[in-house]
Structure formats: C-alpha cells, structure tokens
Amino acid sequence: MDELKTQKFGDAVTPMGHEIHKNLQLVVGDLTATIGGNPWKPFDNRTVAFLSDVSKFLLIDSNSRKLPDLVSFAYWCRLSNIDQLKKKSGEIDALIGRGTVFHIPPTNVPLNFAYSLVTGLLAGNTNIVRVPNLESIEVQQVIHALKSILLKSEHSELMDRVCIVRYGHIDEITQYFSEHTNARVIWGGDSAVRHIRSVPTNPRSIDISFADRISIALIKSSAVNGASDNELIKIAEHFYVDGYTFNQNACSSPRLVVWDGTEVENKLAASLFWKAVSRVALTRAEVEPVHVMNRLVETCENLSKNKNIKSVDGLFEAAVRLELIDETLWEETSSLRFGTFTQRSISKIQEVKDILNQRVQTISYFGYSKLEFEVPEIKMILQSVDRVVPFGQALTFELIWDGYDLIRCLSRRVVIR
Amino acid sequence: MEKIDALVDTVTLFLKREPFSISWLEKDGEFLNLVNSLTEHHLEKCQLYRNIVRPLFPAVENPKSLYDVPFIPVRLFKSIELKSVGNSEVFRTMTSSGTTGDSVSQISLDKETSQVQTRALSQIMSSVIGKTRMPMLILDSTAVIKDRAMFSARGAGIRGFSMFGKDVEYALDESMELRIQEIRDFLNRHDGERILLFGFTFMIWQHVCEELRIANLSLPIHNGVLFHGGGWKKLASQNIKNDSFKELIKSTLGIKSVINYYGMVEQTGSIFIECEYGYLHSPSYSEVIVRNPISLLPSEVGQEGVVQVISVLPMSYPGHSILTEDLGTVMGRDDCKCGRTGQYFVISGRIKDAEVRGCSDTYGA
C-alpha cells in the first residue's frame, strides 16, 4: 500500500502514471500548477473580477445570448450578483480556501460543472473539474469564455486555479485526483456518489456529495382562484421554469403538486392552473417532439407496472397529471419527467407534514407570504427540507445547496486567539 | 374462443375488399368498427395494454371517429412484451432490424395474424403489379433469410415480398458483395420479361448503386419494377431524397418504375404504397393520422406532424393503432391525380433525437 501522505502546498506533485496520462484530456489549464496552487480568501477581488469578465464575455457573445441556461449563468457571475452573494454569506474574514477542489458534476445538466467551478473559486480554491459532456453548446461556450479571459494578462493569477479535464470511467484517474486534492464535490445520483466515495482520498480531504432528491410545488388554491388571466399566465410561466427546465430531471424539479384549500377551491384551482400551464408549455420552443414522445412512453411504462395510477389527464395538453388511487404513495411513481406530475390535496398547510420526508429537497410555493412559513409550528414542519423558494426559483443555484453552506464547506476557518 | 374466431372472420372478410376502394369519409364506417372491435379485443386479452389504455384514454369505448381511437407509442414494443394471445399460440416473434438502436421491437404473431398479413400484402401488391408472378431479383444478401431463427424485419420483408416473384435470385452474397455474374445470368434467362425487384432503400443505395458506380458499371433492367422501403434516415445525411434516389436507380439499374412503400414490423402487411405522383396512399386496410408533435392533436391537411398508423390486421398483439416517431404530412383526401381513393401523404423523416438532461447520472457519462 502506498504511504499515506497529505499534500502540502508547495509539495512536488507525484507524477501521474502513463496509463492516466494517456486517458486524460486536458481541456483548460495546467494540472500541476492547479494542484500546487495557493488558497485565497473567499470572494477575493481577483476572483470576482475574473468572474465579472467571464460574465461580460458571455453576454456580449450573440451565440451565447440565444441559450437561456447560458444567459442565466452569465447573470449569476455578474459583479452585482456576486456582491449580493457575498453579503448573504455573512462573516467571512477568518476563512481561507481549503486548497484544491476536485469537482465531479453530473452528465446531463450541462452547466452544472460551471456553477460548481465558480463555487470552488469563490470559496478561495484552485479547481479541477471533470467535465462530462463536451458536445453541449453551452459547455463549449463556457469553456471558450474561460479560456479567453484566462489569457488576459490582468487575470493571469487565475491561470493556476482553473483546470478542466475530461476522462472516461477510469478509477485510477479519479483516485489520483482524490489523493491530490483537499475536497471533492460529488454530484449525484446515489449510485455515482457511492461509487466515487469508494475511491480513496487523502486523509484530510472532505467530500460534499449530492444524493438523489425529489421536490414538490405547494400552491394555495385560493390565490390561484383569485388571480386574473394575466396573473395566471405569469404563475404558469414561473411554474414552467421550475417544472420543465432540464426536462424536469433535476433534483429541484417539482414532481408533486400539492393543493392547499377546501375541496372545492382545490378542484377549481387545479383546472385553472393546468389550463394556463398547458397554454404556456404548448408554445415554448424548448418543448420538442422527442420530449412529448418520451413523456408518452414513460407514462405508458409507468401505467404498465404501477397499479396505483387511477387516471391520466392532460395527454393532449403538454402537462400530464397522474391521478393516484393512494396519494400517500406518490414517491413510488418514479421518474416523472418531461412535464409529468402527480397531485395531492391538503386542507391546511400543517398537513404538508405528512408529505415531507428526508428525500424532499425543495418546496417551490405560490400564494403564500414568507411570514406564513415563519410561524413556529410551520417552521418546524418545513425544517425537514433544504429549500423553500417562490415559484420560478426552484432551479436557481445558490451557494447554500442541499443544506450545505458551500463557501464554508469549501474553506477553513483559522482560529487566532 | 368463439369471439376471436368471429374477429378473424370479420378481418378476413374485410380483406376481400379492393385495396384502394374506401374513401376517407367511409373509413369512419366499417373500417372504424373493425378497429374498435380490435381495441375491445386487446383490452380483454392483453392486461398490460388494458393497464395502459384505460387510464390514458378514459373515453375509450367505441369512438365515433378514427381520431379518437386510442394509440400507444411504437417504442413501447421495445420495452414491454405486449401480446393478446397465450405463449402456445405465438407462431413467430418478429423483431425490428435494430440497425440504429440497441433494443428491438418484439412482435408476437399467431397463425391467424400472420395469414391476414400475407393476404393484405398480396391484395395491395397485385393491385400494383398484377396477379402474374414475375422473375424476381432481391437486392439484398442471401444471409438475411438463411438464419431461420432470426425473423428480423429485413428477413420478413424479403420473405413476404418474395411470394410475388418466381425464380427468385439474390443480388448480394453473404458478405454483401454484388454477385455480378449471377445477376447477368438471371437477366439473360429472363431477357425481355418484366422483372420484379425488392430491397431496402439504404441497402440498395450502399451495396448496389454505390458499388456499381465505383465499378463504373450499370445494369440494363429496363423492364424492372423496384419496390423499396425501410426508411430514409441514413440517406438523409447523404442528402438523398426520393427524387434523387429514383434518378440514381435509373442511371445504375436502368429501372424507370421505382415504388417506395411505407411500412413497419409493428404493422406488417398493410403497407402504404407510393403512386405515380410520388404520394403514399392509405389502402383499405390501414390508415394514417398525422398529429401535432407537441399537442398530439390531429393536424390539418398540409400540416406536418407525427404519424399514427392504424391497421385492421394486428390481432395477436395490440398494435392496431400506434403512434410512430416518423414525421409526415397528409397531402389530400380522395383527390390524388393517380385516381386512388383515400388519404395520400408523404413521410419527411423522424423526430429529432434530443439529449435527455438531468442531474442523476454522473457515472452514466
């Protein structure tokens, strides 16, 4: 067995074996320099200036502007937003980056790698990112922007902090990075997390892993019933962003819609709401024929094996709703994607307790004021989830994610008495 | 048992009708009734079909219009074993050729369904080429049918169409090379006769036309009638469309009569045949409905959409009404210049594959 050795700053990096070298594609940056790089303070001015220029680069580029995910990312990196994030992060003076962070993003949310990288940078680290998918235009654009800005002389100090690599499922490479970094950020699902965590790290390294989660939408029916036609469309548009982005395939995408009100209110609200959602979803260019086909195929597959589905609504409305015989078993109806939802009625918000469990990550809500969630009884109930956010923000990436305060997790606090 | 016999009799009787004799409006009559009987039959005999269709189409009983006939997506035959007969009655299991995807469709045929498929195809074919058998050249390899265990769509197509020819010869050997000498001998044997040819569009293009072109050869099959089908997906990337394909056939094989057909292993037999004006026609035994690819509601004439195919033949498996992933456009009804009654349409391709995105498969990369 190899001698256990903690990487210290300035240590020479163990050279990689030939096998690893052969199978590793360096997309951006310098591996050795990145592994040996110095930690900075969170929100270091140099990092913020770099991100600001990346943001500008993307927003000026006309190709990028056509891609909504990319525009969102560019806005996220803007100076004003980073300032906001810094303010929300509270007291950070005693913090310093952990060193080098190894990021393992998921395959299919193309820009997840970019958010993960930026988080690592903001926490003060140098970063190795395994990019899963170079074919995506969004990914290519971000890499192009990073490369271009890194070449500018004023950002030369960032050169050693961003290293993007690509490789297949080769545990030797994962192990090499795991042993030479100070933290791993492992994005799900469960089997991927399990596998990567079975690959040894250096003893001081920490893991931040994101397991499979599910999310729900919570709607106060009376608020929907009181909405004007225009307001209804607005509500539906926000819900569309939450429920349809990434083909409803993200952990934060709502799959269960909970109606809060009397039986009569809930019924009316559901009919108004789905009509509006259908109007929005049927006209969006992002909804492609293959998604509609996948939705139909997966609905049929669900029906063939799940006896708990009573009926299916909305086959022709771009929003499929599965009515369950036993609503408490909603989680068993798995893999709801491409605009497929289950529903449940409650008569008061306290009853949401029966629905929540440790797997629920995000509640996106409509019709409530934040104050309603601060009532101690309600607050207690909501504490089982990680995020409670208004409609339209379910998928908005935040530095506090899955309950982790990422800036604090990816940095160290130095105590000087 | 009696009920199924009655259904078999009704279908068999229906196939006595002329293959292009039912107008679009008349399709909502006897044709629809027969389709409704099939839906009822499959709901009764296939539990998985029932589990799927009852909740999906709550108003499933006796639709008054073809538009309201329940449908299931064609891809389902790849993931679920759907059949309406017991295992002992399955006479053969057909599979899609599986050249592009990793999973293949599994279609369970009993004797009766297989027989009506043959009958329907022969009705349609004889209306186009007459009842006399012609010498036949298959533009494919002998290997495809040698393996009797493999009832792939390709083998089934070849076997099915071979029935309409005599002195059947194969143009390709087992390694897909042209058998030039055998072809020449065959043509000499039948000098002056009409020749029937059959093959799959892409195979013909790649292994016959391209090979002849490279060898700078052409064959003088001026009396030939070529039937071809099997999709344009691979040829689309070469930018080859129906017209240019016809030109190519004419220049390499000398054949002027080139007839495309549209069919699939899930609905063998009741194929759609191209007319002299380049349109595919619904025969009496099947129909297409074009649906908006997003809302899945029926499209207007002239609007492109996804193609639903309805056939009266599938009795042993619930494939009488399926939503394909093909794109097509209904061009008109009952008024094609060729004189055939019924709907006529074109197929323009497949729906575009798109990446499925999500956040739960790091290791799937």
pLDDT tens digits for range B303-352:
999 999 999 999 999 999 999 999 999 999 999 999 999 999 999 888 88
- How many structural domains comprise chain A? 2
Strand partners, B298: B291
Question: What is the C-alpha to C-alpha distance for residues B360 and A132, in angstroms, rounded to an integer?
Answer: 13
In this prediction, residue A45 has a pLDDT band, given cuts at 50, 70 and 90, of: very high
Instruction: Give which of A317, A316, A309, A318 is closest to A343, Cα–Cα.
Output: A309
Residue A319 lies in a domain: yes
Residue B98, exposed/middle/buried by CB under 10 A (0-12, 13-18, 19+)?
A: middle
3-state secondary structure of B101: coil
B354 to chain A, any CB pair closer than 8 A? The answer is yes
B76 to chain A, any CB pair closer than 8 A? The answer is yes
For residue B70, the chain A residue with the least C-alpha distance is: A315
Q: Which of A70, A166, A303 to mutate to test the interface with B (most CBs of B within 10 A)?
A: A303
Q: What is the pLDDT of residue B357?
A: 42
Sign for the pseudo-dihedral over CA of B143, B146, B149, B153: positive
For residue A321, the chain B residue with the least C-alpha distance is: B56
Helices A45-60 and A137-150, interaxial angle, to 10°? 130
A83 and A43 share a domain?
yes
A196 and A258 share a domain?
no
Residue boundaries of the structural domains of chain B:
2-81+283-350, 132-262
Residue A5 lies in a domain: no
Please name the residues in contact with B252: beta carbons below 8 A apart, sequence gap of 6 or more.
Answer: B208, B209, B212, B213, B217, B218, B219
pLDDT tens digits for range A267-282:
999 999 999 999 999 9
User: DSSP state, B178?
Assistant: B
Q: What is the pLDDT of residue B150?
A: 52
pLDDT tens digits for range B273-294:
999 999 999 999 999 999 999 9
Chain centre distance of CA A320: 24
Mean pLDDT, chain A, integer: 92
pTM score of the predicted model: 0.89
A187 and A305 share a domain?
no
Residue A159 lies in a domain: yes
Residue A81 lies in a domain: yes
- The answer to whether the CB atoms of B295 and A316 lie below 8 A apart is yes
Q: Which of B294, B359, B361 to mutate to test the interface with A (most CBs of A within 10 A)?
A: B359
Question: What is the C-alpha to C-alpha distance for residues B260 and B114, in angstroms, rounded to an integer?
Answer: 23
- Count Cβ–Cβ pairs < 8 Å, chain A vs chain B: 139
Distance from CA of B152 to the nearest CA of A (A): 23
Which numeric CATH code is attached to B132-262? 3.40.50
B357 vs A110, A300, A316: nearest CB = A110
Residue A9 lies in a domain: no
Which residues of A fall within a CB distance of 8 Å from B52? 300, 303-304
Q: Which of A131, A136, A174, A296 to mutate to test the interface with B (most CBs of B within 10 A)?
A: A296
- The answer to whether the CB atoms of B51 and A304 lie below 8 A apart is yes
Among A179-193, A328-342, B22-36, B79-93, name the one with the lowest average pLDDT.
Answer: A328-342
Task: Inform me whether the pLDDT recorded for B271 exceeds 50.
Answer: yes
In this prediction, residue A306 has a pLDDT band, given cuts at 50, 70 and 90, of: confident
CATH number at residue A129: 3.40.605.10
Which residues of A fall within a CB distance of 8 Å from B75? 293, 297
- The answer to whether the CB atoms of B365 and A107 lie below 8 A apart is yes
Helices A229-244 and A263-283, interaxial angle, to 10°? 70
> Could you tell me which residue, B2 or B127, shows the higher pLDDT?
B127
Question: What is the C-alpha to C-alpha distance for residues A379 and A387, in angstroms, rounded to an integer?
Answer: 12
Task: Inform me whether the pLDDT recorded for A343 exceeds 80.
Answer: yes
Based on DSSP, count helices (H) and strands (E) in chain B, helices before strands: 12, 14
A354 and A241 share a domain?
yes
Residue A149 lies in a domain: yes
Nearest 5°: the CA angle A383, A344, A261 is 85
Distance from CA of A221 to the nearest CA of B (A): 26
A41 and A183 share a domain?
yes
- The verdict on whether omega for the bond into residue A189 sits within 30 degrees of 0, i.e. cis, is yes
User: In terms of residue numbers, what domain contains A239?
Assistant: 214-390
- The answer to whether the CB atoms of A250 and B359 lie below 8 A apart is yes
ipTM for this model: 0.92
A199 and A72 share a domain?
yes
For residue A313, the chain B residue with the least C-alpha distance is: B56
A297 and A226 share a domain?
yes
For residue A168, the chain B residue with the least C-alpha distance is: B365
What homologous superfamily is domain B2-81+283-350 in, according to CATH? Luciferase; Domain 3 (2.30.38.10)
For residue A174, the chain B residue with the least C-alpha distance is: B363
A162 and A23 share a domain?
yes
Are the beta carbons of B228 and B237 closer than 8 angstroms? no
A386 and A273 share a domain?
yes
The residues in B 287-306 lying below 8 A from A, measured between CB atoms, are: 293-297, 306
Q: What is the DSSP string of A230-283?
A: HHHHHHHHHHHHHHHGGGG-STTSEEEEEEES-HHHHHHHHHHHHHHHHHHHHH
Are the beta carbons of B225 and B196 closer than 8 angstroms? yes
Question: What is the C-alpha to C-alpha distance for residues B110 and B117, in angstroms, rounded to an integer?
Answer: 11
B363 vs A192, A249, A287: nearest CB = A192
A149 and A47 share a domain?
yes
Say if strands A162-166 and A404-405 run parallel, antiparallel, or are unpaired: unpaired
Distance from CA of A264 to the nearest CA of B (A): 23
A193 and A243 share a domain?
no
> Could you tell me which residue, B20 or A108, shows the higher pLDDT?
B20
Here the tokens at position B149 are 């265990």
| Amino acid letter, B201 | T
Mean pLDDT of A5-33: 73
B361 to chain A, any CB pair closer than 8 A? The answer is yes
Residue A397 lies in a domain: no
Please name the residues in contact with A41: beta carbons below 8 A apart, sequence gap of 6 or more.
Answer: A92, A93, A95, A96, A97, A124
A180 and A123 share a domain?
yes
For residue A325, the chain B residue with the least C-alpha distance is: B55
pLDDT tens digits for range A226-263:
999 999 999 999 999 999 998 898 889 999 999 999 99
B352 vs A290, A309, A318: nearest CB = A290
- The answer to whether the CB atoms of A292 and B76 lie below 8 A apart is no
For residue A189, the chain B residue with the least C-alpha distance is: B360
B360 vs A212, A307, A315: nearest CB = A212
pLDDT tens digits for range A133-174:
778 899 999 999 999 999 999 999 999 999 999 999 899 999
- The answer to whether the CB atoms of B361 and A297 lie below 8 A apart is no
Task: Inform me whether the pLDDT recorded for A373 exceeds 90.
Answer: yes
Mean pLDDT of B169-182: 92
Distance from CA of A295 to the nearest CA of B (A): 10
